[in-house]
Amino acid sequence: MDVNSSGLAIAVGEFGTIMRSKDGGKTWEQRPIDWATFRDDGYEPHIYAVDVQENGRILIGAEFAYVIVSDDGGETFQLATKGEKSIFAMHMLPDGVGYAVGQEGLVMKTTDNGATWAELSSGSSANLFGVWASSQGEVVVAGMRALLRSSDGGASFTASDDLAVLRNWYVPVAMGQAEFKGDGGAMVQEVVYIAGYQGTIARVLR
């Protein structure tokens, strides 16, 4: 689920379920999509990811690499892209750059606020459950026994060899700060927090 400051909230789920609230979650209504316009068999895909922007634009990620877009607050939806693998998470930045990650190492990027998408080479075959990105080109992707990092906007990724990562699963949660003490005194460093296996919370140093 995601919500903007105006109270527009979208919750998504299995078999094409899209629920909308205009009052911050007090009341809800279902927003059906005619999936037959996107697929000949009319199959209703499971939906895993949603981004609700301040201007009311909605992006939804689902099975078959579907990205569904609405520019009118969920009244109508259009198909932006499709493929084969499931999208499990999305992260959009205010400048229109965004990332979607998912099944079997899937990483996709948009530079036009979700209108078009390009698949990136992640170098991984893991199921990827979460993504975080900064406007400086940093990208952190986490999933099943995998943690990928990029400092060049997804042009290249480096995989972690930490055993705590390789044996478990995580998703990026948020960016914050941590204080470390060194010979020169205390130093504040920005970190990305990830959470997952057995309630573990860890820090990824930037």
Q: What is the pLDDT of residue 38?
A: 87
- CA–CA separation, 128 and 102 (whole Å): 5
- CA–CA separation, 117 and 101 (whole Å): 12
What are the C-alpha distances in Å from 52 to residues 5, 69, 92, 181, 194?
Answer: 10, 10, 9, 39, 22
Q: What are phi and psi of 148, to 5 degrees?
A: -115, 145
Q: What is the pLDDT of residue 41?
A: 86
Q: What is the pLDDT of residue 11?
A: 98
User: Largest alpha-carbon pair distance within the chain?
Assistant: 65
Helix (H, G, I), strand (E, B) or coil at 103: helix
Q: What is the pLDDT of residue 192?
A: 87
- Please name the residues in contact with 5: beta carbons below 8 A apart, sequence gap of 6 or more: 54
Q: What is the pLDDT of residue 164?
A: 86
Q: What is the pLDDT of residue 172?
A: 80
- CA–CA separation, 75 and 175 (whole Å): 33
Q: Within the chain, which residues score under 50 in pLDDT?
A: none
Q: What is the pLDDT of residue 15?
A: 95
For the whole model, what pTM was predicted? 0.90
Architecture per CATH, 2-174 = 7 Propeller (2.130)
Q: What is the pLDDT of residue 31?
A: 96
What average pLDDT does the structure give for the chain? 92
- 111 near 82, Cβ under 8 Å? no
Q: Find where tokens 């997804």 sit.
A: 154
- CA–CA separation, 186 and 181 (whole Å): 4
Output the CA angle 201-203-206, nearest 5 degrees: 155
